[in-house]
Structure 1
Amino acid sequence: MEDSTILHDFMIEAEEIIEEAEIGLLEMDKGSDFQDNYNAVFRAFHSLKGAAGMFGLDALQSHMHKLESLFEEKKNDGTIEKEQIDYFLNGIDAAKQILSGEEIAFRHVSNFEDLKKDPTEPIQEEVLVAKKEELAEKKEKKERGFIYIVDDESEIVALINDMLSDAGYVTKTFTKAQDLLNSLDGEYPDLILSDISMPEMDGEELLDKVREIDQDLPLIFISGFITKEIMLRSLNSGAQGFIEKPINENKVLNICNILISRKRAMKLLNRSIDFIMYQFSDLDSFLEQKGKDRLRISLRDELQTILEMRKQLKDIR
């Protein structure tokens, strides 16, 4: 219903949906509240299944449908066994493989009795510990805010890093723009602070390359001297702010807070729209069966309007 960029956005969002499912299962493994975590895992399974169906990812849709159907049997139990958690965690790893275009060797079961007769391969304790640590780190970044800092002057990097770390942000620092780009492969910061004048690759070139990876990732330039020409060119390329040296701590913290809050608000809006889209195919089929063609057309038109408005908002940004 929208151009191909929505598929790219989904691939990023799918990783977050999968992480939510993993976190919920690992919380169950720790003995945390069953119902809250059950709801989080089921919601993630259902969303991923719906999205896969919308994008014609048949293998992923079928896989998630089988996981969801079996997981739903635990709804009223109030508990889940270790071997069952291992089964669903292995199933999530298989979903990641499908998203990466890999073949999977995952063995589906239709009920938990079959799983008892032929249990899935247990997850080794060291693997489980590493997975928990990785997800805990990702959860902290999401909660506190995750910022990249790049400047060829290590003193400036250290100064800004101390400011942001003291304010509660999680940071990652670089002295070369290319190293930052390499790190963006599979990692999603909330914001980038970048010097403009750097050797090998300057800030403007970095901005262009970041935009090729993520159109919505905010980037702020840091410089001791910002001309009107550089400012206009950078704003047209998608820069969202400027900080002049010497660096004012309050200004840094204020602009970081504003841009991260704005990005997260947009992300919540996008997730809400995407959730509606992911469920639309099921609703559309139901309405078709009931002969509600007029309502189907009306809902489809409304959804198309929402998607067009979102695209316009992205273009403005």
Structure 2
Amino acid sequence: MPFSDEEIAEFKTEAEELLDGAEKCLMAVQRGEDFKAHYDAIFRVFHSLKGAAGMMEMPIVQSHMHQVETIFTEQKARPALDACYLSFFLRATDACRSLLDNETIDFNYTVSEAESEPPKADKGVAVAPAPAAVSQTKQAGRVLVVDDEPYIVEILREMLSDAGFEVCGISLPEEAVGLVESFKPEVVLSDISMPKVSGHALLRAIRESHPDLPVVFLSGQVDKDALMEGIEHGVYSVMEKPFNRAQVIDTCLNAVKKYRLAKLVQRSINLLVYQFSDLDDFLVKEGKLDVRNSIRHELSSLLEQMREMRRAENPARRAN
């Protein structure tokens, strides 16, 4: 099953999220939480990445995660995870990130008891309680607001924060694409007419790497041609200034729901694809080639339907 550059990029993004999750669990164990309570979550990350790397034809990443998973499963019977193993698995997650970035590394799979202190023990941002508190209170979603008028950004930031959203606002549109990568919003509110980078240009840039991310245009006066161009590139909605508070909140809530549903569907499909390598090996060993071929066909068909849907939403991709 060949994968496009876009699908490989999406896998790498999801892999980063999985590794972040495993790292948080390891740090929780380091802080004294029960290892067994976190074992399954960490195992799922290592196992999923091993299978996914195989499907994505990344043999070096697959081999790395296979060895890491093997060492990790050997710790299952232990009542607690020794400091040297905590350090090892934290190093292993960082090594996987490097391999995903196509870097060449020299990783030692021998666990040394000399590694008594995990290297990330004092990594402030990762273990600080503040982000956890934010994630618990800001359940409505993450919103990126882009407008060259700072007072508009502040109005929307206050309006959405009061409604339970986590908001990042910026009045420099040329920096917005970078914030999409770092802040990871679930909806983007962008003015249409901005200097240097227009709302349409921002929408096209976001569609290149985040085809499912909803973008809502903000405008003092909706121009028909501007609206049609936005629709052509998949704008989610348009809101006129001055803003109606209920409309802003409802639009953002619905956009976040749409985005989370799209991500859930994507993750479900990815789970099927990533875990197929284990099933594939089993079916070959059992001689059930008809079943194997049927499943491969269905997965290939499912992936192609997803590609077609995305090409239909993005004219630039339809041309390729």
Q: TM-score if structure 1 supplies the norm length?
A: 0.90
Contact 1:23 1:135 in 2 (8 A): no
Change (3 A) 1:134 1:49: farther
Partners in 2 of 1:121 and 1:93 — Cα distance? 16
Q: Return 5+ residue gaps in structure 2 as ranges.
A: 314-320
- 1:269 alignment partner, SS class: helix
Question: Which residue does 2:144 correspond to in 1?
Answer: 148
Question: Which residue does 2:44 correspond to in 1?
Answer: 43
Question: Which residue does 1:56 correspond to in 2?
Answer: 57
Question: Which residue does 1:182 correspond to in 2?
Answer: 178
Q: Give how far 1:120 is off.
A: 6.9
Q: TM-score if structure 2 supplies the norm length?
A: 0.90
Contact 1:52 1:58 in 2 (8 A): yes
Alignment-mate amino acid for residue 152 of structure 1: D
Question: Which residue does 1:240 correspond to in 2?
Answer: 236
Question: Which residue does 1:70 correspond to in 2?
Answer: 71
Question: Which residue does 1:20 correspond to in 2?
Answer: 21
Partners in 2 of 1:265 and 1:139 — Cα distance? 22
Matched, 1:115 2:116: no
Partners in 1 of 2:99 and 2:134 — Cα distance? 24
Question: Which residue does 2:267 correspond to in 1?
Answer: 271
- 2:304 alignment partner, SS class: helix
Alignment-mate amino acid for residue 204 of structure 2: D
Partners in 2 of 1:22 and 1:212 — Cα distance? 29
Contact 2:98 2:105 in 1 (8 A): yes
Alignment-mate amino acid for residue 191 of structure 1: V
Partners in 2 of 1:8 and 1:124 — Cα distance? 27
Matched, 1:132 2:133: no
Change (3 A) 1:105 1:9: same
The 10-residue stretch of structure 1 (164-173 or 304-313) with the greater mean CA deviation from structure 2: 304-313
Alignment-mate amino acid for residue 272 of structure 2: I
Question: Which residue does 2:305 correspond to in 1?
Answer: 309
Partners in 1 of 2:52 and 2:130 — Cα distance? 23
Identity across matched positions, percent: 36
Q: Give how far 1:282 is off.
A: 2.0
- 1:115 alignment partner, SS class: coil
Give the alignment of 1:272-311 within 5 angstroms: 272-311=268-307
Alignment-mate amino acid for residue 215 of structure 2: L
Partners in 2 of 1:20 and 1:218 — Cα distance? 25
Partners in 2 of 1:222 and 1:272 — Cα distance? 33
Q: Give how far 1:130 is off.
A: 3.4
Contact 1:87 1:120 in 2 (8 A): no
Change (3 A) 1:3 1:50: closer
Matched, 1:210 2:206: yes
